[in-house]
Structure 1
Amino acid sequence: MTTLLRAEGVTLGYGRTPVVHDVTLDITEGGVGLIGESGSGKTTLARAFLGLLTPMSGDIWYGDQNLKEADMRRFRRDVQPVFQGEALDPRMRVGASIAEALPRAARDRVPGLLQQVGLDPELAGRRPHQLSGGQRQRVVIARALAAGPRLLVLDEPTSALDVTVQAKILDLLARLGTGRLLITHDLAVVGRLCRTSYVLFAGRVVESGPTAELLDAPAHPYTRALRDAVPRLGGEPPRVGARPEPSAAGEPGGCPFRSRCPLAVAECGRTPALREVEGRRVACHRAEEVLRGR
């Protein structure tokens, strides 16, 4: 599969405080999930992939070009965001909002884009407040598709929708012919849309591999907790005990999950490296025991 974007040893932060640590991650055409609870660094990493945040160290690659040196006009066309709760301009009609992303000569494509996302083209004349939440989210997706992107960066695209509408939006995304980076806390959602997934905790990748394998048999205690905490589509965000203090999450030594891990032992005071375990990469000293269900 073609790699559309790649992070190599990327550390990200705000000011001098790093919040994402030494992440290496490939976004391929098969759909990639970025999973973790709020504060895990998912959206920060997505902002770097969109060129909105410069790494403190490491590099983002767009194909074979470093993003720092890439043709940003082409990049903005190829990589389109769909943010959580993205708002449409209340003063603009739906058709005009989508047409903004099109060259003037191509604005007759608006009805087709609305149909592509399952909306009646007659909705082009309405304003956002006249649409339901699910319809507005489809308009946001249509606007992103207007540029003809190769990759959609989707940050919790269904979190504000009820379960029935979530399912329809996920079906729509599964039918689109674009690549996907899906940022979510919900393993059930990535199970429908992503071939590969990366699990983040405290700004670090703790497990990655084929999504089906992560769902069936997590090898990291945190991945297992996420899976067990969200048993159905539309479930509540996972709660896996108390959060670590910021100092604990940022300690240079030791597993960042150890203060919440039921399997923590003295060895967990040593930072686990990502290593190959049964077809995935895991940062856990006891991954084999997790796979055995202990």
Structure 2
Amino acid sequence: MTILRAQDLTLGYGRQSVVHDVSLDVTGGGVGLIGESGSGKTTLARAFLGLLKPQKGTIWYGGQDLKKADMRAFRRDVQPVFQAESLNPRRRVGASIAEGLPDRARVGELMEQVGLDPALAVRRPHELSGGQRQRVVIARALAVGPKLLILDEPTSALDVTVQAKVLDLLAGLDTERLLITHNLAVVGRLCRTSHVLFAGRVVESGPTAELLAAPAHPYTKALRDAVPTLGGQPPQAGTSAPPAETGCPFRSRCPLAVPECERAPELREVGEGRTVACHRAEDVLTGP
């Protein structure tokens, strides 16, 4: 079932576009948006949350143009999960969780659901560990019974052991999820399908397990190789050269670039359920 859909979506701020002609579906089983800082994944998530209007294209929710949807129902059904620093430092965590609840008696139930002692409800964020604060953020999002969680780097500020526990929690929730991350080790735990973004464009899409096992785009391969273990730092795939202004945007950083890459590649199928925007995808798939 498709929960959200982007169709030919271009997004930006002012006159500057940062996401270009993106089409993708948010379906069941978890969907990942993967890319470095500046790739456009957070901008795309802001649009999916109804916080940013498209410059071009359409976002569909439940088969309806999001611009025409009941936004009260939408904001109940689609909830963001940001990093733990998003909590108000002056509010007790129980009050933060109860903000969207008609029945505040459910605060303890939600805290138990995310593995927290309800007695911690009277504490403020600075009195909790990083992992506990992240669980509070998740409990706050679950308070209104959402159908979809949009998770923006929910574990990047946590140490490896705590990351694993939070990922176990998220994987066990009976709620669909869209995960924004730079880390393929994390997306592999939570997402059935994934889309890789570079310079505001989708360069590869498909089942996450296949993307991890055999990337078809050199950028996806660089990301996979840059984060070998859970908890790695945001990768820098290849060199720090900026995206090329014409042709394939990755060609200035690509070890496989050839003259043909001066012509922008289009997304094409490279297997069942897999698409890639690369002239040399077959060489990437068969390479070492």
Give TM-score, length-normalised by structure 1: 0.96
Q: Distance in 1 between matches of 2:134 and 2:84?
A: 8
Give matches, 1:1-294, under 5 Å.
2-103=1-102, 106-245=103-242, 248=244, 251=245, 253-279=246-272, 280-293=274-287
> C-alpha displacement at 1:3, in angstroms?
0.7
> C-alpha displacement at 1:63, in angstroms?
1.1
Give the percent of matched residue pairs that are identical in Structure 1 and Structure 2.
78
Point out 4+ residue stretches in structure 1 off by more than 4 angstroms. none
Structure 2's unaligned 5+ residue stretches are: none
Counterpart of 1:55 in 2: which secondary structure? coil
Q: Distance in 1 between matches of 2:21 and 2:240?
A: 21
CA RMSD in angstroms comes to 1.0
Contact 1:94/1:127 (8 A) holds in 2? yes
> C-alpha displacement at 1:85, in angstroms?
4.3
- Which digits, 9 at most, give the CA deviation of each residue in 1:20-78, with x for residues without a partner? 00000100121000000010001000000000000100000001110101000000000
Q: Distance in 1 between matches of 2:238 and 2:204?
A: 19
- Which digits, 9 at most, give the CA deviation of each residue in 1:80-102, with x for residues without a partner? 00123442222221111111111
Contact 1:268/1:285 (8 A) holds in 2? yes
Contact 1:3/1:29 (8 A) holds in 2? yes
Structure 1's unaligned 5+ residue stretches are: none
Contact 1:93/1:128 (8 A) holds in 2? yes
Structure 1 counterpart of 2:19, one-letter code: V
**Number of aligned pairs?**
287
Structure 2 counterpart of 1:288, one-letter code: E
Contact 2:265/2:278 (8 A) holds in 1? yes
Structure 1 counterpart of 2:256, one-letter code: L
Contact 1:29/1:178 (8 A) holds in 2? no
Q: Distance in 2 between matches of 1:160 and 1:92?
A: 21
Contact 1:86/1:140 (8 A) holds in 2? no
